[in-house]
Amino acid sequence: MFCPFCAHEETKVIDSRLAAERWLAFRPWPETLRAELEVRAGDVGAAADRLEHAFALACEVDDPCWEGASARGIGLLETRRGRDADARRWLQEALTRCTRVPDRYEWAHGWVLEARTDAAVREGDPAARELAERLQLLAAGTGMRELVVRAQLHLHRLGTVGALESARLLAADIDNPALHRLVAAAS
Q: Domain residues of the chain, as ranges? A: 1-125, 129-187
- Return d(Cα 153, Cα 180) in angstroms, integer: 11
What are the CA-CA distances from residue 69 to residues 29, 96, 104, 183 (Å)?
Answer: 7, 11, 13, 24
For residue 8, pLDDT over 50 is answered with no
What are the CA-CA distances from residue 122 to residues 88, 98, 117, 131, 150 (Å)?
Answer: 11, 22, 8, 12, 14
Report residue 5's pLDDT band, with 50, 70 and 90 as the boundaries: very low
pLDDT value of residue 19? 62
For residue 17, pLDDT over 80 is answered with no
Q: Are 41 and 83 in contact (CB under 8 A)?
A: no
> Domain 1-125 maps to which CATH number in 1.25.40.10, 3.40.50.2300, 1.20.140.10, 3.40.50.2000?
1.25.40.10
For residue 1, pLDDT over 70 is answered with no
pLDDT value of residue 4? 42
- Taking only the tens place, the pLDDT of each residue in 107-156 is 899 999 999 999 999 999 999 999 999 999 999 999 999 999 999 999 99
- Taking only the tens place, the pLDDT of each residue in 28-87 is 999 999 999 999 999 999 999 999 999 999 999 999 999 999 999 999 999 999 999 999
- Return d(Cα 118, Cα 14) in angstroms, integer: 29
